[in-house]
Amino acid sequence: MTDPTSSSQEIVLETHDLTVAYDKKPVLYGLDVSIAPGQLVGIMGPNGAGKSTLIKAIMGLLDPSGGWIKIFGESNTSQRKRVAYVPQRREVDWDFPVTVMDVVLMGRYGHLGLFRRPGKRDRDIAMEALEKVNMIPYASRQISNLSGGQQQRVFLARALAQESDLYLMDEPFVGVDAATESTIVDLLQDLRSQGKTILVVHHDLPTARQYFDSLILLNLRLIAYGPVEEVFKEELLQRAYGGRLTILSEVADATGEKSKVDLSAKR
């Protein structure tokens, strides 16, 4: 499965002078990052900073208008089987007539090509992925009956079923319940311990510090990239988020609010 030439020193993802534009209007300018394997990387920045755009460009869903992207030293579009993508949950129609299992199996389609049907091995892999996100009991449910957190788990399971080496997740923590959040965190750490690399678009500053090894701070340009301790500085955050916040006091407030059990919210 895995390319035998891949060693742990290899750079997983490298962008050079990456510029991405919609209709000739650039929303990401000259981005240089290079990410080593086995890292949990947070991508942070205000709304419209270009976080989703960056992920889509890495996935080869948008063509850069300048610069280049390399994944495992090769062009990004040639490495599709080694990269898994978790899109934002609200981008799809959850009334679609498929079951949870059907969706997770779609994670295998990239390996199957156009005409091959999923076999027993693919089903086993899909089941294992469902198990990792605690969704086995829902395998044959239609997706429209799922809560937000469950929908997110389905998307994660689909990505797990891809058996990739690099994972790109767009806001997996948005609108999920506490139980799902902790499942996701466990999952991310589990993936990292297997030597996988994960990039996660994240919104919540207080938890960012806890969850990630390094941070990419973005606002149309790269503001900072490095280990969390180095990036989590008031002046850098201020530069990313602009004048409109007193971040550190917000962080202080929010850290106190965590860890409340809410039984009624689980219904």
Partner 1 sequence: MTPKFRHSPPFLALLIFMFAMPSEAHAAKISELVEVDLGDQFVRFFSLQDAAIRHILLGCLFMGINFGLLGSFVVVRRMALVGDTLSHAVLPGVAVGFLFTMSKEPWAILLGATMAGLLGAATVSWIQRSTRLKQDAALGMVLASFFAVGICLIKMIERIPSVNRSGLDHFFYGQAAALGRADLWMMGGTAVLSTIIVVLLYRPLLATSFDQVFARSIGLPERMLFHLLMLLLALAIVVALQAVGALMVSAMLITPATTAFLLTKRMHVMLCLATGLAIAAGMLGAFLSFVGEGLVSHTLPTGPSMALCAGGFFLLAFLFSPHHGLVSRYRRHLSQTRQITVENTLKAIYRAMESDRFKEEGIAVRRLAGDARETFEETMKRLRLLVRDGLATFASARGEVIYLTPEGLQHASRVVRNHRLWELYLTNEADYDADHVHADAEKVEHILGEDQVMELERYLDYPEQDPHGKRIPSLRDTQRLPLRDLAVKEEEVEP
Ligand X SMILES: Nc1ncnc2c1ncn2[C@@H]1O[C@H](COP(=O)(O)OP(=O)(O)O)[C@@H](O)[C@H]1O
**Which chain residues interact with ligand X by CB under 6 A?**
22, 27, 45, 47-53
Task: Decide whether 235 or 262 has the Cβ nearer to partner 1.
Answer: 262
Dig out the tokens for 241 from the structure: 């988020």
Which residue's CB is nearer to partner 1, number 121 or number 233? 121
Minimum Å distance from CB 224 to ligand X?
Answer: 16
The 3-state secondary structure of the chain reads: CCCCCCCCCCCCEEEEEEEEEECCEEEEEEEEEEECCCCEEEEECCCCCCHHHHHHHHCCCCCCCEEEEEECCEEHHHHHHHEEEECCHHHCCCCCCCEHHHHHHHHHHHHHCCCCCCCHHHHHHHHHHHHHCCCHHHCCCEHHHCCHHHHHHHHHHHHHHCCCCEEEECCCCCCCCHHHHHHHHHHHHHHHHCCCEEEEECCCHHHHHHHCCEEEEEECEEEEEEEHHHHCCHHHHHHHHHHHCCHHHHHHHHHHHCCCCCHHHHC
Contact partner, 49, from Mg ion, ligand X, partner 1, none, Cβ < 5-8 Å per class:
ligand X
Is 52 near Mg ion (CB under 5 A)?
yes
Of the candidates 113, 114, 157, the one whose C-alpha atom is nearest the C-alpha of residue 135 is 157
CA angle 168, 173, 176 (to 5 degrees): 135
Stretch near partner 1 under the rule CB under 8 A, chosen from 55-63, 67-75, 222-230, 244-252: 55-63
**What are the contacts of 255-259 at 24+ separation with CB within 8 A?**
255/206, 258/206, 258/207
The reply on whether position 9 binds partner 1 by CB under 8 A is no
The one among 9, 193, 259, 264 contacting partner 1 by CB under 8 A: 264
Residue 80 interacting partner from Mg ion, partner 1, ligand X, none (CB closer than 5 to 8 Å by kind) = partner 1
Contact flag: residue 83 with partner 1 (CB under 8 A): yes
Among 106, 139, 174, 248, binds partner 1 (CB under 8 A): 106
Stretch near partner 1 under the rule CB under 8 A, chosen from 33-41, 91-99, 172-180, 203-211: 91-99
Interface stretch with Mg ion, choices 16-24, 51-59, 125-133, 225-233 (CB under 5 A): 51-59
Residue 264 binding partner per list Mg ion, ligand X, partner 1, none, with a CB distance cut-off of 5 to 8 Å that depends on partner kind: partner 1
Residues from 142 through 181 that contact partner 1 (CB under 8 A): 142, 144, 158, 162
Q: Which of the ranges 28-36, 79-87, 189-197, 250-258 carries the binding residues for partner 1, by CB under 8 A?
A: 79-87
User: What are the residues binding partner 1 (CB under 8 A)?
Assistant: 56, 59-61, 80-81, 83, 85, 87, 91-93, 96-99, 102-103, 106-107, 109-110, 112, 114-115, 117-118, 142, 144, 158, 162, 263-264
| Interface residue list for Mg ion (CB under 5 A) | 52
